[in-house]
């Protein structure tokens, strides 16, 4: 399942984060790539322990924790601290699949990458190219969202970032370990949750909504890994 989450950040939150990122100490992004991915990667990133990356990353996680659509779709158990990149001057990242397991820097903890996420900090008209292209069983999907919007997609997906030939593309990217590992099961739970919310809005006293809610939680109880 691929899902766009609009307006994860407010315009003022976005403005403050973007201003800070423009002045950040960017490094060669190949330093964080695996052996195979290094040959495909050409961008710049913030160091994992950069105070600015930590500050904005914590803020993003707090915003997502309060975002009902994110919680419903991702069913997050763990969120890897967000990372940050910038593409410019032809910068690109060729086809790759993300690591299955990521270590949380400075801790003994690990996160399984069930879901990948990209939060855009640049509007589409600020740069040419830079599309996130995700390949799945339904074909190829090209993603270029407004600043403040986030795309959520399965961590198993083959994907790439097209060359940025004009301007600068700022983004945050990170991974989520879900309570429900299987994408098909998460998708069914998400659709059921959205349907329950729709029924509840139209018929607040509906006994069917109560029964459907019971089905949702029993499925979650059956599929969840904690």
Q: Torsion-angle region of residue 52: left (phi > 0), alpha (psi -120 to 50) or beta?
A: alpha
Q: For 47-151, where are the alpha helices, taking DSSP H only?
A: 51-65, 68-74
Q: Is 96 annotated as a binding residue?
A: yes
Q: Is 221 annotated as a binding residue?
A: no
Contact 168, 17 (CB under 8 A): no
Decide: helix, strand or coil at residue 207.
helix
| C-beta pairs of 103-106 under 8 Å, 24+ apart in sequence | 104/80, 105/48, 105/49, 105/81, 106/49
Cα gap 213→85, rounded to integer Å: 40
Q: Is 98 annotated as a binding residue?
A: yes
User: Which residues have a Cβ under 8 Å from the Cβ of 65 and sit 6 or more positions away?
Assistant: 71, 76
* Residue stretches of the annotated binding site: 96, 98, 159, 169
* Residue stretches of the annotated binding site for 2-oxoglutarate: 169
* Residue stretches of the annotated binding site for Fe cation: 96, 98, 159
């Amino acid at each position: 399942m691929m899902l766009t989450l609009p307006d994860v950040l407010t315009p003022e939150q976005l403005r403050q984060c973007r201003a800070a990122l423009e002045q950040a100490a960017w490094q060669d992004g190949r330093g964080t790539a695996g052996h195979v991915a290094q040959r495909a990667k050409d961008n710049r990133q913030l160091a994992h322990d950069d105070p600015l990356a930590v500050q904005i990353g914590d803020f993003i996680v707090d915003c997502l924790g309060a975002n009902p659509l994110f919680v419903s779709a991702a069913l997050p158990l763990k969120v890897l601290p967000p990372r940050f990149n910038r593409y410019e001057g032809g910068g690109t990242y060729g086809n790759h699949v993300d690591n299955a397991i990521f270590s949380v820097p400075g801790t003994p903890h690990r996160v399984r990458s069930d879901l990948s996420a990209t939060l855009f900090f640049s509007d589409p008209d600020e740069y040419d190219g830079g599309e996130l292209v995700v390949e799945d069983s339904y074909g190829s999907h090209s993603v270029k969202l407004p600043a403040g919007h986030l795309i959520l997609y399965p961590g198993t997906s083959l994907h790439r970032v097209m060359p940025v030939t004009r301007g600068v593309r700022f983004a945050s990217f990170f991974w989520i370990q879900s309570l429900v590992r299987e994408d098909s099961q998460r998708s069914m739970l998400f659709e059921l949750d959205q349907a329950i919310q729709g029924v509840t809005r139209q018929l607040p006293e509906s006994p069917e909504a109560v029964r459907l809610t019971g089905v949702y939680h029993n499925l979650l109880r059956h599929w969840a890994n904690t």
